[in-house]
Copies of this chain bind each other. A is one copy, B any other.
């Protein structure tokens, strides 16, 4: 984040500019005095920092401070500071098993434009999927520019393992990808490239991360205090992943492969799993297992099948409800082990599973209650308000937050 050999003065400035931006982000529109009070800095120091952020277009001034707020800083009484909605933006992208999605988020955290494309990830070569993604990203970037925004970074959520600190998808079983470098594929459409090279994507710094990780960060950043700073976030699309957040920090693991909840053994002698193990959670609560147990087809459109499952469960269909109860039990067993190992304050059910919470929760809660070893109440079970949107929003927010964390990367 910080350059080598940067002067201590510049580092201090970088840090203080970032603190001012985060203070405004957390408080909403507020006066210079309120920022100074929150950060424990002098009004003079805050005014200097604010001037730089106003000049650079990261802050704007609004007419008046909100009622009850403290007065404005010296020289500008009555004005409130707000994050800009017309400067930089982050682009988030999601590579799903059956779709691609891209959106642009401004520094206020608002989604300003988005696009989605049905795309069969399993039946297409990675190069083709990434060429489609490149086109979609460029489309959203053009729209964002039309709104006066400048894309500063692209973050991509993938349903697979990403080697820590790289842009390489080491393995994405539900896409059939292995060792796919997103950066080079996005930069170079390769032999399939019949589309004119859009220059934008190549110029943008790229961040690639696992969808469960980005979904968890979205909960942390957008959960509005519903989610504590120590939690396990369960994310499901076709596979089941998870992310662990401790003291507000994502636990990535030594190689970046932490969070493979879907491959926690539930019944050691259970059905063979694609990972080489047996009886993994995915064999009981993964989408294919769930649909099959409910007597639904697994070879058609995912959304149709999941909607049918929700409808049957809602109508009281025994087979559908039994399948969901069995999945909830398996989730509870795997999560009880997770809770006993990690002692989080909450378990957040996100991704595609969130919509089935009604039928999953009773069994899940029972297992957690019975199997939590520590005294006191087991961790809270929270249903994600973001659901399947989490990874895409997390990606876009991760991209735009770079500006808040390191304003000099934008201001120069």
A interface list, Cβ under 8 A from B: 161, 170-171, 178, 228, 230, 242, 244, 246, 251-268, 275-278, 280, 329, 333-334, 336-338, 340-345, 367, 370-376
Determine how close the nearest CB of chain B comes to the CB of A277; give it in whole angstroms.
Answer: 4
What are the residues of chain B within 8 A of A256 when measuring CB–CB?
Answer: 343
17 residue pairs of the A-B complex, CB under 8 angstroms, read A161-B375, A170-B375, A244-B341, A251-B342, A255-B376, A258-B342, A263-B371, A264-B337, A264-B340, A264-B341, A265-B333, A265-B337, A277-B336, A277-B371, A277-B373, A334-B337, A338-B341
Between A275, A276, A371, the greatest number of chain B beta carbons within 10 A of the residue's beta carbon is seen for A371
User: Inside 8 A of A336's CB, which chain B residues have their CB?
Assistant: 263-265, 277
What residues on B are CB-neighbors of A252 within 8 Å? 343
Chain B residues near A374: list those with CB within 8 A. Answer: 161, 170-171, 255, 257, 260
A340 and B263 contact, Cβ closer than 8 Å, known pairs A251-B246, A254-B230, A277-B370: yes
Tell me the complex Cα distance, A252–B171, Å. 30
Q: Which residues of B contact A230 (CB under 8 A)?
A: 253-254
Contact of A341 among B261, B276, B277, B278 (CB under 8 A): B261
Are B260 and A373 in contact (CB-based, < 8 A)?
yes
Closest CB in chain B relative to A27 CB, distance in Å: 25
CB closest residue in chain B, given A231: B254
Closest to A374 in B: B257
Number of copies: 2
Report the Cα distance A238→B127, complex, angstroms: 55
* Contact residues in B for A376 (Cβ distance below 8 Å): 255
**A228–B242 touching, CB < 8 Å:** no
Measured CB to CB, the closest approach of chain B to A272, in angstroms, equals 10
CB-based contact A371/B257 at 8 Å: no
Bound-state CA distance A133–B74 (Å) is 64
Q: Of B178, B276, B337, B338, which contacts A370 at CB under 8 A?
A: B276
Tell me, in angstroms, the Cα distance from A204 to B246 when the chains sit together.
32
A23 to B163, CA, bound (A): 33
List 8 tightest A-B contacts by C-beta distance, closest first.
A253-B343, A263-B373, A277-B371, A264-B337, A260-B340, A257-B374, A230-B254, A275-B373
How far, in whole Å, are A341 and B266 apart by their CA atoms in the complex? Answer: 13
Q: Could you say which of B341, B342, B375 contacts A171, with CB atoms under 8 Å apart?
A: B375
Q: A171-B374, A264-B336, A277-B371 are in contact. List 13 more A-B contacts (CB 8 A).
A: A242-B341, A251-B251, A254-B344, A255-B376, A256-B343, A257-B343, A257-B373, A263-B373, A264-B341, A267-B267, A268-B333, A268-B367, A275-B373
Given A170-B375, A371-B276, A343:B254 Cβ within 8 A = yes
| Interchain nearest-CB distance for A344 vs B (Å) | 6
Chain B residues with Cβ below 8 Å from A161 are 374-375
Q: Which B residues are CB-close (under 8 A) to A343? A: 252-258, 260
Contacts of A372 in B (CB 8 A): 275-277
Give complex CA distance A288, B267 in Å: 23
- Please tell me if the beta carbons of A342 and B253 are within 8 angstroms of each other in the complex: yes
State in angstroms the CA–CA spacing of A374 and B210 once bound together.
13
Query: Bound state CA distance, A255 and B260, in angstroms?
Result: 24
Shortest CB–CB separation between residue A363 and chain B, in angstroms?
12
Q: Which residues of B contact A340 (CB under 8 A)?
A: 260-261, 263-264
Inter-chain contacts of A375 with B (CB < 8 A): 161, 170-171, 178
Per the bound structure, the CA–CA distance linking A259 and B264 in Å amounts to 16
Query: Which residue of chain B has its CB nearest to the CB of A264?
Result: B337
> Measured between alpha carbons, how far is A338 from B280 in the docked complex, in Å?
13
Q: Which residues of B contact A254 (CB under 8 A)?
A: 228, 230, 246, 343-345
| Min CB gap A348→B, angstroms | 14
